[in-house]
Chain A
Amino acid sequence: MPTASYAGSEVTVNDEGFFTDPGQWREEMAPQLAAAAGITELTERHWQVIKFMRHEYEAKGTGPTVRVLGKTSGVTVKELYQLFPQGPAKTAAKIAGIPKPRGCI
């Protein structure tokens, strides 16, 4: 399994760069993960989504899709795509250190 180093810690990731063990994630790792995904600055709105992703994952064992994010995270679909242009659910999951959400809608 590939490893990567964030905020001075070695973590295991899959081929696409998603954490395989969300327990290895710490908040300090987020800026570096975001920068790798093309997001230079994490605003409060980004954090709202990232924390929501963590929360949903901890509660349900899977990250939410964009549709679910748009309905329940307090951030609209339009804004989600402004915050995470490369795909909100996918990018936010990567930054939040959780597996890529699976869902078609």
Chain B
Amino acid sequence: MAAKIEKVSIVISKGSLEGVYPGLIMANGARAEGMEANLFFTFFGLDAIHKARHEHIKLATVGNPGLHLATWAGGLPGVSSVMTHYLAHKMEQLDIPSIPEFVEMIADTGAGLYACKASADLFGLTKTDLIDQVKDIITVGEFYDMAAGGQIIFT
């Protein structure tokens, strides 16, 4: 059998629903396979671990050609909320957890959650703004130290 991946470090850099879920699924899946996994939230990806914002992450309905919705229509007030609500309903039917629940579950699997220092500084966030499961706010150098010997996945 080919060599197994032992460790992954996954960067979540986007703050849209479709930007956050793939990284969460990959981190959770890595733990389910017995790999070590760490998650790093940077830039708008920080919203996924922001106490006040992680319940309000929306699907991007503008500039998202995959949605097959005219950009002008996606920009109408409320469209993003409606589409997000619709998708949340579909996900619930498939038993896909909401972002806050999923992040908490991933922390429970033993994966490490970290926030990017440059982004936290930029947005004026401190550890108290972030959910309790976040282990630390770290620099890019510390991220590379932690990621050493494993695979890095940027989303």
Query: A interface vs B, CB < 8 Å?
Result: 15, 65-68, 70, 76-78, 81, 85-91, 104-105
Contacts and interface: CB of A to CB of B under 8 A. Distances in A.
Interface string B99-114: 0001001001110000
Given A15-B1, A105-B96, A105-B97, A90 B32 contact: yes
Contacts, number: 46
9 contacts: A65-B32, A66-B28, A66-B31, A81-B31, A81-B110, A85-B34, A87-B31, A90-B32, A105-B97
Interface residues of B, number: 16
Q: DSSP majority for the A interface?
A: helix
Nearest to A16: B1
B5 interface: no
B95 A68 contact: yes
A30 B32 CA distance: 20
Given A81-B109, A81-B110, A67 B95 contact: yes
Contact of A105 (B1, B28, B33): B28
Given A68-B95, A104-B25, A105-B97, A77 B32 contact: no
